[in-house]
Amino acid sequence: MATMEFKKRIRIITVKAFRAKFSSEEDCLEYLVKHRWPNGFVCPKCHNREAHWQAGRNIYWCKACEYQVSVTAGTVFHSTNLGLPDWFWAVYRMAQGKKGFSAMQLMKEIDVSYPTAWSVLHKIRCAMEERDKQYKLKGTIELDDAYLGGESKGKRGRGAEGKAPILVAVEKRQTRKGTKPGYVAIRIVKSLSSAEVMAFVDSKIIPVSIIETDGLSVYKVLGDLNFAHKQTVTENGIEAKELFPWVHLVIGNLKRFILGTHHHADLKYLRLYVAEYCYRLNRRFHEDDLFEHLLKACLLISPRKYNILGY
């Protein structure tokens, strides 16, 4: 049976170490300042390096142009009533949980309302989504489609009410013992069409890669693009899983991730759960601290607001 390989991270921060390092608002602010301006403060307006620090407001006041810069401005942490230690804890739990982390769990752990916990985790998922856009797959790629929300009934390629069609691509890397999966890309699409396949492949796969698919007609368009396309008609699902083991494994694990952790994911926000899954999966090769990487990602994305159930 195909399984995903995970390298052991060498700098995993324990809960005890996390609590000691980020026990107060000041600890978290110091971390943010260090990582936003590693070489010292620089005014984003006039590029002056000298500024007054106003501790009560947590802002830098440029001495040259008097522009005021909040430490959290332009990050997911800005303009919220949640304290930074709770924000950092949410990032930590999202980074450390291989099977994901739900809003219900966060609500209980930091004693906030469900809408607050839901919003916090979705903002973190937005940061994951943005950072994962840097990846493009190359080499030999397994490409397949599926539906999230259960197995699609009827003729393959048709949608079903309440289900979202997705395209999934997985690098197939050669090893001495055979093959193993590399980076992964997943996109929720409006329909399983040639146009959607072209758009997905063009944005997520480097040209001249070898793309392996089954015989579904929407994949024939790949022959017209700058890719080597290997298409194999399969007789049944068992044969398809044998020919394309890694993409089927990724699809199966994605479905279990969503059902097991989140139980029900609104189609409106499904792409963010997919982004979380991809982000974590694509960083299984990194031998460093996923928490720190995710925290830095949260510094690079502006806050977004979501509405849930009228709250």
Q: Tell me what pLDDT residue 262 has.
A: 63
Task: For each of the domains in the chain, give its residue range(s) and CATH number, in order of start.
Answer: 15-133+290-298 (no CATH), 140-268 (3.30.420.10)
Instruction: Give the Cα separation of 24 and 20 in Å (integer).
Output: 9
Find, among 169, 167, 172, the residue nearest to 194 by Cα: 167
Q: Tell me what pLDDT residue 298 has.
A: 93
SS3 content of the chain, % helix, strand, coil (to 5): 40, 20, 40
Buried b (16+ CB within 10 A) or exposed e, 258-267: beebbeebee
Q: Tell me what pLDDT residue 181 has.
A: 93
Cβ atoms of 124 and 298 closer than 8 Å: yes
The yes-or-no verdict on residue 235 having pLDDT over 80 is no
What are the backbone angles phi and psi of residue 237, rounded to the nearest 5°? -65, -35
Average confidence score pLDDT of the chain: 86
In this structure, the number of other CB atoms found within 10 A of the CB of residue 57 comes to 11
Contacts of 58 (CB under 8 A, 6+ apart): 29, 70, 71, 72
Q: Tell me what pLDDT residue 98 has.
A: 76
Task: Name the band, by pLDDT with cuts 50, 70 and 90, for residue 311.
Answer: very low
Percent of the chain with pLDDT over 70: 86
Classify residue 303 as exposed, middle or buried by CB count within 10 Å of its CB (0-12, 13-18, 19+): middle
Q: Which residue has the higher pLDDT, 8 or 51?
A: 51
pLDDT in tens, 118-144: 999 999 999 999 998 888 999 999 999
Find, among 160, 248, 170, the residue nearest to 204 by Cα: 170
The yes-or-no verdict on residue 176 having pLDDT over 50 is yes
Q: Which residue has the higher pLDDT, 62 or 96?
A: 62
Instruction: Give the Cα separation of 70 and 61 in Å (integer).
Output: 9
The yes-or-no verdict on residue 251 having pLDDT over 90 is yes
The yes-or-no verdict on residue 113 having pLDDT over 90 is yes
Both structure tokens of 93:
């739990």
Q: Which of 120-134, 138-152, 163-177 has the lowest mean pLDDT?
A: 138-152
* Amino acid making up residue 208: V
Both structure tokens of 55:
């501790």
Q: Lay out the sheet containing 210-214: strands in order across.
A: 178-188, 164-175, 140-148, 210-214, 228-232
The yes-or-no verdict on residue 226 having pLDDT over 70 is yes
Task: Name the band, by pLDDT with cuts 50, 70 and 90, for residue 264.
Answer: low
Q: Tell me what pLDDT residue 266 has.
A: 74
Task: Name the band, by pLDDT with cuts 50, 70 and 90, for residue 152.
Answer: very low
CA 68, 304, 58 angle in degrees (round to 5)?
25
Both structure tokens of 68:
């005021």
pLDDT in tens, 30-75: 999 998 999 999 999 999 999 999 888 889 999 999 999 999 988 9
